[in-house]
Structure 1
Amino acid sequence: MAKYKSLFKVRGSIDDVSFYKTEDGYGIRSKSSLDKARLKSDPAFERTRENNNEFGNAATSGKILRRAIIDMVSNAKDNKLASRVTQVMSQVKNFDLTSPRGQRNAAVGILTPDGKIPLIGFNFNRRSSLSEVFQSDYSLSTATGEIVISNFIPTQKLIIPEGATHVEFTAGFLNLDLATQEKDMQISNVENLAINGISTTITLTPAAPAAGTGQSFYLLKVAFFQEINNLQYPLKNGAFNALQILNVL
């Protein structure tokens, strides 16, 4: 796709050309001659309609997941999260081997072992993935959702953003049924530590095991703060916060 970069910047349309701006810069595209009525009825576009329907299902599944973890993801996400989650759900959808073409969806794909793989390791903040800030081993109990980080030394086990004085850990245990949208989200205690050379063991225990007939999601969040006059403030509005899906069962 052509990109336009100049001192003269245009937004909107001129004749059959549209000018637009994204975070990557300015772009130009020509208007399509295809109208909606033809797209909905013309047999030549049957496959396009099928693809659009499956894409819509993936977007809905992504929205369900994002809403289910809103209490954890609100300050640990990037501005392209919705599209990235939709892309992952499209991959999950590909493992639906029973539904007709055009009706494949993530709710069926995730029931398979391979269908869970695209979600494992997913980072909700592409600017700060978990592996980029957190360097420690941990243990995860899939029965309770408890995460234990033993012998954790902040100055050795973190990639510390400039200005950070404290770090905060939270675990999440989610049971989510994409088909029925039923969910149970259990969040652990929050452990806030000064970033220093003192070794400690962190135990994050969700309030209860997440219950339901859906899939189990296990999450870990790392958030950074800056202390000024005995008050802690989110570091750069959470730009360096990381939230990852550790496992899906």
Structure 2
Amino acid sequence: MAVNTSFIKLEGTLDGLTFYNKDGENLVKKKTQVSKNRIANAPEYQRTRENNQEFGGSAKCGKAFRESFAGISRLVSDTYLSARITAKIRSIVPNGPGLRGERNIDLVDNLEPFIGFNFNLSKPFDSQFNAPSPGPDIADTKDSVRWNIPDFNTDTFVHKPEGATHFKLALAAGYVSNYEWDATLKAYQPVEEHPNAAGVVNYSDAIDIGGMVGSDTNLDIDLSAFAPVPVTTALFASTAIVFYQKVNDELYVLAQGHSMKIAAAK
């Protein structure tokens, strides 16, 4: 890969070179000389095919993950969330049973790597909000989540962006099924369709920035509508903070400063 410094900015393929723009940079790379047919059939590309299959499964599982937090993710995510969660899921694939290229994506038995995952790398949740709390508690039946935050000083434990006058804490819960290779469809599929990719978000009341909150903040999510939850489905609980500015008695969501992380899973 090289950087195109010419004043002529091209996009597309020309004379075996591919010109493209990424993150504001104009880049150029050689067009691959390996045909799709060769990659799909040649013995020397067997490992590549295996990797591609498992990457595709990880991307599909990652999409379900993102959809389960769709109610809040647009506020709290960076532009690389899709790639980062796919990579995180891909990292646990070797732990699943099966042949290379067809190994199960076993989220339920590999939850630990996801704890602390931030939806926005430039705004880690703990840098924006760090009041002492025990974190979310997920019921053993995976059909309810509670987060209790004892009274705290907002000046001490909230890092507000410029212009913020208020904030809301949020508890988000999302279901993601394990995925397995389907030899008939030649693709990864969720072990259970329901409640895969389903999720719920609950916000606190708006809290003034300045001094003590004045009481504990309790957030509950009732997921009984999804019960009974299959043992092959994981439940992720995320904690978030969203900032607002009050203008003429109306609260407006700020364009920056929000953050969320996975704080518990079961």
Alignment of 1:5-84 (within 5 A): 5-23=5-23, 25-84=25-84
How far the C-alpha of 1:189 sits from its partner, in A, is 4.5
- Bigger relative contact order, structure 1 or 2, given CA contacts below 8 A and separation 6+? 2
Q: Is 1:180 paired with 2:192?
A: yes
Where is the helix percentage greater, Structure 1 or Structure 2? Answer: 1
- Report the more deviating stretch, 161-170 or 192-201: 192-201
Alignment of 1:196-207 (within 5 A): 196-200=210-214, 201-207=216-222
Contact 1:222 1:242 in 2 (8 A): yes
Paired residue type of 2:194: E
Match of residue 89 from structure 2: 89
Match of residue 248 from structure 2: 229
Paired residue type of 2:159: I
Q: Is 1:141 paired with 2:137?
A: yes
Could you tell me which of 209, 221, 232 is aligned with 1:195? 209
Secondary structure at the aligned position of 2:221 is classed as coil
* In 2: Cα distance, 1:177 partner to 1:126 partner: 25
Q: For each residue in 1:114-133, what CA deviation from the matched residue of structure 2 results, as whole angstroms up to 9, or x when unmatched?
A: x2122111111223220120
Structure 1 unaligned runs (5+)? Answer: none
Paired residue type of 1:84: R
Alignment of 1:115-154 (within 5 A): 115-139=110-134, 140-143=136-139, 144-154=144-154
* In 1: Cα distance, 2:98 partner to 2:218 partner: 42
Could you tell me which of 207, 212, 237 is aligned with 1:218? 237
Structure 2 length normalisation: TM-score? 0.84
Identity of aligned residues (%): 25
* In 2: Cα distance, 1:220 partner to 1:87 partner: 22
Match of residue 100 from structure 1: 99
Q: For each residue in 1:143-201, what CA deviation from the matched residue of structure 2 results, as whole angstroms up to 9, or x when unmatched?
A: 24111111222111111111111101111233432322322534335331111112332
Contact 1:125 1:242 in 2 (8 A): yes
Match of residue 166 from structure 1: 166
Contact 1:170 1:191 in 2 (8 A): no
Q: Please, what is the CA RMSD of the aligned residues? A: 1.8
Structure 2 unaligned runs (5+)? Answer: 179-190
